Amino acid sequence: MAEALAPALQALADEDATVRSEAVGVLGWLKNAVALAPLASLATHDPDASIRRVATAALGKLRVAE
């Protein structure tokens, strides 16, 4: 599963909202803390409201190790 992390992170910058949405879904499923900052950025700055929504939902799936 770790091999999916880098491509998903790169896809967050894609022009196509569908590609960004799929990448967000993958990152939420992976639940890797590395995705926390990029997802937070999308959740607050993406021009597409649907991407902001799915990024916020994906953030809820992440758990940072204490």
- pLDDT score, position 2: 74
Q: What is the pLDDT along the chain (66 residues), one digit of tens a residue?
A: 678 999 999 999 999 999 999 999 999 999 999 999 999 999 999 999 999 999 999 999 886 543
- pLDDT score, position 65: 43
Give the predicted TM-score (pTM) of the model.
Answer: 0.88
Alpha-carbon distance of 24 to 5, in angstroms, equals 11
Number of domains into which the chain is organized: 1
- pLDDT score, position 66: 38
CATH number of the CATH domain containing 44: 1.25.10.10
Can you tell me which residue has the tokens 């607050």?
Answer: 44
Alpha-carbon distance of 12 to 63, in angstroms, equals 20
- pLDDT score, position 28: 93
Decide if 66 is inside a domain: no
- pLDDT score, position 62: 85
What residues make up the domain containing 32?
Answer: 2-61
Can you tell me which residue has the tokens 């590395």?
Answer: 34
